Structure 1
Amino acid sequence: MMTTELLDVQPCELKFTFELKKQSLCSIQLGNKSDHYVAFKVKTTSPKKYCVRPNAGIIKPKATCDFTVTMQAQRVTPPDLQCKDKFLILSTVIPFGTTEEEITSDMFSKDSGKYIEEKKLRVVLISPPSSPVFVPINGELKQDPCYENSVKKDRVLSGVENIPPPHGVAEDVEGFETYKDMDESRAVKDVEELKPAKDVVELKPAKDAVALNLTKDFEELKLKLNTVDSKLKEAELTIMKLTEDRSMTTREKNMLKHELELLRRKNNVKRIMVGFPLFYVCMVALISLAIGYYIHP
């Protein structure tokens, strides 16, 4: 049983700037507080409403990992911008060497006997910053004091800036379905990897958020390219070394064949030179018998 927390989640809630027919983006950072490799998986009560990238991953010891949640474009403003959607972040310790492809839902099952840490996050909807109303005062365009007072009043009453939806929008769209409060992990479903619907409007986040995400993506791509480049260089060196070893082996093999052929030829010459041929011995024996027969008739 683990005695310390595995993950530190920042921020502790998902804040989305709600605008009709526009997507909204929110980033969450997970910090591994342990000395082990930790796998995580993100779930939500409204899987069709949100997209998460990535929805699962591995965090090294004492390292951090970010994932981005995208709320799809909505056609109806919820009453008082209240949202009952919830997110659940599951995490568990995994062995060293486990890859992201090996992460499955069974890995986060409590029936497996492993320690599963749960972090629950609620969704908060925030009104977009409203544009000030300018009126001509003494020949110059200045902000309307009535507008400023009304905005302050709305902030005091609700805690956020409330922007009334355009007239006629609520009549032409379908009702917005909300999920019930999450009942532990049974009501929670897996979040799909970024698969936006066909009728979803393109994401138009704030410039700062876009620049930050582009910078992060650029740095990640740069690191990946450097890694791939170093691996390619290592592969080229390995191929060159193997090619040289192969050519050297071929030369040694040819030299051995040549030496073997020379040895075979020397052995054949020695066999020919050692002793007398059988035909020569037979002829000498016959001549010796003939001479002996004539000498001793």
Structure 2
Amino acid sequence: MAFGELLGIEPQELKFPFELNKQISCPLQLSNKTDNYVAFKVKTTNPKKYCVRPNAGIVMPQSTCDVTVVMQGQREAPPDMRCKDKFLLQSVVANPGMIAKDITPEMFNKESGNLVEECKLRVVYVAPLQLPSPVMEGSDEDSSPPRASSLDNRNSNALDFSHVSLEPQDKSSEVKAVISSLTDEKNSAIRVNNKLCQELELLRREGNKRRGGFSFLYVMLIGLVGFLFGYLFRT
């Protein structure tokens, strides 16, 4: 920290981590080690580019005051990242009890015989702070990239279907074949049953005509139809 007779200023250079189109601020601290009230005022060679808060004020005896210099977002970087902008901080002894709104431009006029202390501050552009990339915990071997041979093996395993069992699919085919065979048998039995029913109906009609009751063949047909119906219900 550099001290004048009235105020100490920290830092002596205004360092801005320069980034295009981004508003950047730089803190500035003023220290009053005297027993006097000290008034200050901040000027810059490029007022359209910077904003100082506050740009004037009072630093009370044995106290400090924080000032913030804000640089507006820039559309292009200067050549070689060098900046020619400068700041001038003026300080003067003020009357006891004075506040910021009591400050006038005449207080910093040397021609009026005022003892004005001045300190020049230059602007420096620095590269933005780069945070280190996170490193995964573990051994160096674990953090190293996988070898090409390992990747090839993994890809080969991913495309190898020789280990897949086809047994469930074979069993499913067998079940489907059995169901298809039973269905065919059932349909065949239904056709035979329909045919027997037709013949039974003819025999019944002939029996009614003859009034002779049921013949032996008629009884056998009834038994066969009952057997077929029982078979169909079981399947």
Deviations 1:189-220 (A, max 9, x none): xxxxxxxxxxxxxxxxxxxxxxxxxxxxxxxx
Partner of residue 44, structure 2: 44
Tell me how far apart the structure 2 counterparts of residues 62 and 132 of structure 1 sit (CA, whole Å): 41
What secondary structure sits across from 1:69 in the alignment? Answer: strand
Partner of residue 62, structure 2: 62
Tell me how far apart the structure 2 counterparts of residues 34 and 132 of structure 1 sit (CA, whole Å): 44
TM-score w.r.t. the length of structure 1 is 0.43
Q: CA deviation at 1:114?
A: 1.4
Paired positions, count: 136
Tell me how far apart the structure 2 counterparts of residues 34 and 103 of structure 1 sit (CA, whole Å): 19
Q: CA deviation at 1:131?
A: 6.5
Q: CA deviation at 1:120?
A: 0.6
Tell me how far apart the structure 2 counterparts of residues 75 and 26 of structure 1 sit (CA, whole Å): 19
1:138 aligns with 2:145: yes
Runs of 4+ that moved beyond 6 A: 131-134
TM-score w.r.t. the length of structure 2 is 0.54
Deviations 1:226-281 (A, max 9, x none): xxxxxxxxxxxxxxxxxxxxxxxxxxxxxxxxxxxxxxxxxxxxxxxxxxxxxxxx
Partner of residue 102, structure 1: 102
Q: CA deviation at 1:99?
A: 2.1
AA matched with 1:138? P
AA matched with 2:83? C
Gap regions ≥5 residues in structure 1: 141-297
AA matched with 1:68? T
Tell me how far apart the structure 2 counterparts of residues 131 and 31 of structure 1 sit (CA, whole Å): 32
Tell me how far apart the structure 1 counterparts of residues 105 and 127 of structure 2 sit (CA, whole Å): 36
1:71 aligns with 2:71: yes
Q: CA deviation at 1:97?
A: 2.0
Q: CA deviation at 1:45?
A: 0.2
Tell me how far apart the structure 2 counterparts of residues 93 and 130 of structure 1 sit (CA, whole Å): 43
Using CA pairs under 8 Å that are at least 6 residues apart, name the structure with larger relative contact order, 1 or 2.
1
Partner of residue 93, structure 2: 93
Partner of residue 111, structure 1: 111
Tell me how far apart the structure 2 counterparts of residues 133 and 68 of structure 1 sit (CA, whole Å): 31
Q: CA deviation at 1:129?
A: 2.8
Matched ranges for 1:128-167 at <5 A: 128-130=128-130, 137-139=144-146
Deviations 1:60-101 (A, max 9, x none): 111100100000000001111100100000000011122211
AA matched with 1:20? L
1:123 aligns with 2:123: yes
Tell me how far apart the structure 1 counterparts of residues 33 and 22 of structure 2 sit (CA, whole Å): 36
Aligned-residue Cα RMSD (Å) equals 2.1
Tell me how far apart the structure 2 counterparts of residues 127 and 16 of structure 1 sit (CA, whole Å): 8
AA matched with 1:46? N
Tell me how far apart the structure 2 counterparts of residues 124 and 116 of structure 1 sit (CA, whole Å): 26
Gap regions ≥5 residues in structure 2: 135-142, 148-235
Tell me how far apart the structure 1 counterparts of residues 57 and 131 of structure 2 sit (CA, whole Å): 40
Q: State percent identity of aligned pairs.
A: 57
Q: CA deviation at 1:111?
A: 1.4
Q: CA deviation at 1:104?
A: 1.6
**Over alpha carbons, which structure has the higher Rg?**
2
AA matched with 1:72? Q
Tell me how far apart the structure 1 counterparts of residues 64 and 122 of structure 2 sit (CA, whole Å): 21
Partner of residue 208, structure 2: none
Matched ranges for 1:1-297 at <5 A: 5-130=5-130, 137-139=144-146
